[in-house]
């Protein structure tokens, strides 16, 4: 195929623009990674591995990954009582809830041990999320920065070669963003707890958990549908965008 000079003259600028976009994107994400606290980068990577394992229904391996993630967060000053640990506990509880539901499907009865473990970890996530929100919710950026500063020491060799101020500001950004996001996470935990109470046959407590979930996140359609089912109401109608995205966010 012969390419005309005119077509070649169009290709060159396009190639240059594409190269600039790729380089800019690479530099942007490189800077983001450089601003991440190096002490917990492995935990972030392992959470991505956990998500992949869960998509393949490898629940036992997923639990092992969560154990190592929890070990990282509890070992780094300033993270042991943060929202990240709540994510780990809720995810672990969710794995045991999936195991219990799988037993129910395959063996026609629920595994009480798996259900009890799910309840333990999900209640733990609720305690972490609630305590974290109580402490953080009224803080502004400067107060959050003052709170985390004692956990970031320039003399710590782990920060050698990094811009510590960027890391601190990135952590502040994460915490500010998570004020809203953790309310949604807490809503998910209450939803999971409602499912557990329903399996236990305590409908009143299940309804209570779904109502708490919806107070925190009105667009939690799993909680809405489950609550409607318990109250004998029709399922909530959703538009196409809600069907595509909100279920995935759970």
| DSSP letter, residue 159 | G
Residue written as token pair 């995810």: 91
What pLDDT digit, counting tens, does each position of 107-157 carry? 777 889 999 999 999 999 999 999 999 999 999 999 999 999 999 999 999
Grade residue 16 by pLDDT with cuts at 50, 70 and 90.
Answer: very low
Residue written as token pair 């600028």: 13
Q: With contact defined as beta carbons under 8 Å apart, do 91 and 70 qualify?
A: no
Is 38-249 in CATH node 1.25.40.10? Answer: yes
Q: With contact defined as beta carbons under 8 Å apart, do 125 and 93 qualify?
A: yes
Q: What is the mean pLDDT of residues 154-171?
A: 95
CB atoms within 10 A of CB 242: 13
Kindly give, in sequence order, each residue whose CB lies less than 8 Å from that of residue 188, ignoring residues fewer than 6 positions away: 90, 213, 217, 220, 250
Token pair belonging to 49: 């591995």
What pLDDT digit, counting tens, does each position of 54-93 carry? 999 999 999 999 999 999 999 999 998 899 999 999 999 9
Report helix, strand or coil for 71. Answer: helix
**What's the whole-model pTM score?**
0.80
The pLDDT value recorded for residue 33 is 55
114: Cα separation from own chain's centroid: 22
What pLDDT digit, counting tens, does each position of 203-227 carry? 999 999 999 999 999 999 999 999 9
Domain boundaries, the chain: 38-249
pLDDT of 242 strictly over 80: no
Distance of alpha carbon 26 from alpha carbon 35, whole angstroms: 14
Closest CA to 156 of 54, 244, 39: 39
Q: With contact defined as beta carbons under 8 Å apart, do 80 and 73 qualify?
A: yes
């Amino acid at each position: 195929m012969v390419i005309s000079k005119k077509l070649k003259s169009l290709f060159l600028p396009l190639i240059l623009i594409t190269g600039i976009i790729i380089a800019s994107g690479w530099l942007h994400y490189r800077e983001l990674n450089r601003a991440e606290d190096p002490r917990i980068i492995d935990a972030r990577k392992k959470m991505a591995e956990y998500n992949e394992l869960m998509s393949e229904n490898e629940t036992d391996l997923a639990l092992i990954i969560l154990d190592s993630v929890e070990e990282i967060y509890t070992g780094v000053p300033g993270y042991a009582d943060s929202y990240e640990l709540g994510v780990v506990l809720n995810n672990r509880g969710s794995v045991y809830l999936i195991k219990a539901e799988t037993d129910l499907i395959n063996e026609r009865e629920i595994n009480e041990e798996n259900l009890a473990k799910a309840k333990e970890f999900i209640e733990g996530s609720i305690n972490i999320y609630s305590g974290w929100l109580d402490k953080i919710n009224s803080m502004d950026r400067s107060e959050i920065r003052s709170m985390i500063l004692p956990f970031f020491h320039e003399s710590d060799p782990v920060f050698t070669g990094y811009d510590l101020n960027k890391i601190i500001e990135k952590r502040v950004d994460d915490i500010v963003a998570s004020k809203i996001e953790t309310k949604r996470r807490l809503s998910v935990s209450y939803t999971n707890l409602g499912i557990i109470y329903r399996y236990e046959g305590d409908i009143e407590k299940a309804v209570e958990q779904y109502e708490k979930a919806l107070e925190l996140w009105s667009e939690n359609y799993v909680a809405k549908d489950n609550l409607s089912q318990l109250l004998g109401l029709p399922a909530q109608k959703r538009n196409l965008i809600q069907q595509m995205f909100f279920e995935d966010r759970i």
